[in-house]
Amino acid sequence: MRAKFLLLVFILILGSLTIVAQDDPLLVTSNTQIGTQYDIFLDEESLVVTGDLYNLGTEAYTNINLYVEAFNEDDELIGEGFGFLVDACGNALLDYIMPPERLQTFNAPFELFEADEVARIQVIPEASAITPPETPTFDTVGVNPIGSEEVVMLEWLDDDTMIYGVGCDDTVFVDLIWRQYTISENDLINVNHPDASFLTEAMIQQSGVNMISQSGEQNPDLFARSQMVFAPNGRRVIYQNDIHTIISAEPDGSFRRLIHDGLHQFSLQGFVWAETPGVFLAYYFGSFGETVRYFVGNVEGNILSARVPNVTPSITVPGVTPDGTGVIVGRTIEGVTGYYLDTSFNVELLFEADLPGNNYPAPVVVDTGGNRLIYFVRPVNEIATLQCWDRNTGQFSTLTQLPFILDDESHAWSWISPNKTRLAVSADGTEGGLWWVDLTAFDTCSP
């Protein structure tokens, strides 16, 4: 009861609160906000300061901690807290080495130990300065940087313009930070996702996304786990319910169609959209290193592949052909490890290869009528590399290195532009970012 009373008092005075940081010319906090987060140990909401820490110095920093002190109007200390740098999903970066000119989010829970009004919050960063580690160099061709944020979702509006979402990869699209980038103008602006206006209370209610299947009761937390998203090249919305059944609906949540049920034991990681409107591949795994299960379907309610429990798993995240009739998977079959084209009637070896883990992008299949190309991103000598398989000639080509580094906790994605000449590639984590690749810059595998 005392904690809830203090929380109420704190919320009432937020409008007049002043937040300051330690007078440090090298480590500077910005975008600082006060909020609450669920504390699993106290089983209740707790106070937290969030924001960004920017390294203005020429040295790197490690052992980074952030201390929070809360003061009343008489400048008396009435609360304290302690926090860390975190990634977009809120995971603490305990061993992180922060390079010069790098900005990273922090999260610092704190507690009030006096029932008094808070007039000022001070955030004090402390860290150990070290010589910056050697920056890796990449041999890139046709690769153009856009930003260094954790980009986890992207849609091409046309061949020159994209919108992308920054945040945690398991966040519903409407809760991401969206930006729009135009290549020809090198122009970046903040935007709202065009489908965000559909997500009204009435739509949520009509879709049933928050309904507990067994009791019929409503649980608002289910929306956050639904992975609800609108088909980028179609009309309907797609999502999973509390027992992981995949459902589609009209933009207002009406005319629901069950696509795939019996998935309660599988963890949905995302969707790969085919070129054919409304066709998608849903992929499932639990953690890094696990094999990937999947199915192909469409938002009209049809399954175009084997069901998830019956599919032969892939080592990699699968790609899907433009019409959804084939899937590019990574498997070992009769001792041969490589990429295969799996259709309903045949499994064809494309080429032998060492396969990446499930944190690398799905292969991108391009069929322009004349060219039949498949683009892959996989590690070569521990460096993410863009490669291509030309199905017309059987030629395999290495195109360029990509300037991101993945660990067991980070992931990468890729999206092809409508005219198939540009590939957007993103990665989350501290070494992530967003780039676009000019596919016409290469002598081979040019669309």
Select from 420, 380, 426 the least CA-distant residue to 147. Answer: 426
83, 199: one domain = no
- Selection from 44-53, 63-72, 116-125, 277-286 with the highest mean pLDDT: 277-286
- Is residue 244 in a domain? yes
Q: Which residues contact 237 (CB under 8 A, 6 or more apart)?
A: 195, 198, 207, 228, 229, 230, 231, 248, 249, 250, 251, 253, 299
CA atoms within 13 A on the CB side of 144: 14
182, 301: one domain = yes
228, 108: one domain = no
Distance separating alpha carbons of residues 251 and 257, to the nearest angstrom: 13
Q: Which two structure tokens, joined as six digits, stand for 181?
A: 């980038």
38, 187: one domain = no
198, 51: one domain = no
**For residue range 240-286, what is the model confidence (pLDDT) as tens digits?**
999 999 999 999 999 999 999 999 999 999 999 999 999 999 999 99
294, 356: one domain = yes
Q: Which two structure tokens, joined as six digits, stand for 324?
A: 């959804």
409, 352: one domain = yes
Distance separating alpha carbons of residues 226 and 238, to the nearest angstrom: 9
* Residue 407 confidence (pLDDT) above 50: yes
- Is residue 315 in a domain? yes
211, 123: one domain = no
- Is residue 135 in a domain? no
- Is residue 164 in a domain? yes
* CATH value at residue 99: 2.60.40
Residue 307: CB atoms within 10 A of its CB come to 14
- Is residue 137 in a domain? no
Q: What is the rounded end-to-end Cα distance, in angstroms, of the chain?
A: 65
- Provide the domain limits for residue 20: 2-130
- Is residue 412 in a domain? yes
Q: Which two structure tokens, joined as six digits, stand for 223?
A: 């929306």
* Residue 416 confidence (pLDDT) above 80: yes
44, 156: one domain = no
Give the pLDDT confidence score for residue 200 in this predicted structure. 95
Distance separating alpha carbons of residues 19 and 30, to the nearest angstrom: 10
- Is residue 267 in a domain? yes
* Residue 130 confidence (pLDDT) above 70: yes
Give the pLDDT confidence score for residue 316 in this predicted structure. 97
Give the pLDDT confidence score for residue 25 in this predicted structure. 63
Give the pLDDT confidence score for residue 401 in this predicted structure. 97
Domain stops at, among 103, 130, 157: 130
387, 303: one domain = yes
- Edge to edge, what strands does the sheet with 18-21 contain? 18-21, 120-130, 60-71, 77-85, 103-112, 44-55, 27-39
118, 177: one domain = no
- Is residue 446 in a domain? no
Contact criterion met (CB below 8 Å) for 125 and 29: yes
Contact criterion met (CB below 8 Å) for 380 and 335: no
Overall domain count for the chain = 2
φ, ψ of residue 174 in degrees (nearest 5):
-70, -20
Select from 110, 96, 109 the least CA-distant residue to 55. Answer: 96
Chain-wide mean pLDDT for the chain? 90
Distance separating alpha carbons of residues 156 and 424, to the nearest angstrom: 9
* Residue 4 confidence (pLDDT) above 50: no
**For residue range 319-364, what is the model confidence (pLDDT) as tens digits?**
999 999 999 999 999 999 999 999 988 999 999 999 999 999 999 9
Radius of gyration over every alpha carbon of the chain, rounded to an integer in angstroms: 24
Q: Which residues contact 352 (CB under 8 A, 6 or more apart)?
A: 336, 337, 338
Distance separating alpha carbons of residues 374 and 371, to the nearest angstrom: 10
104, 164: one domain = no
Which contiguous run of DSSP H or E holds residue 43?
A: none
Domain stops at, among 95, 130, 165: 130
* CATH value at residue 419: 2.120.10
* Residue 11 confidence (pLDDT) above 50: no
**For residue range 205-216, what is the model confidence (pLDDT) as tens digits?**
999 999 999 999
Domain stops at, among 101, 130, 159: 130
Q: Which two structure tokens, joined as six digits, stand for 155?
A: 């849609």
Tokens 């499930």, residue located:
358
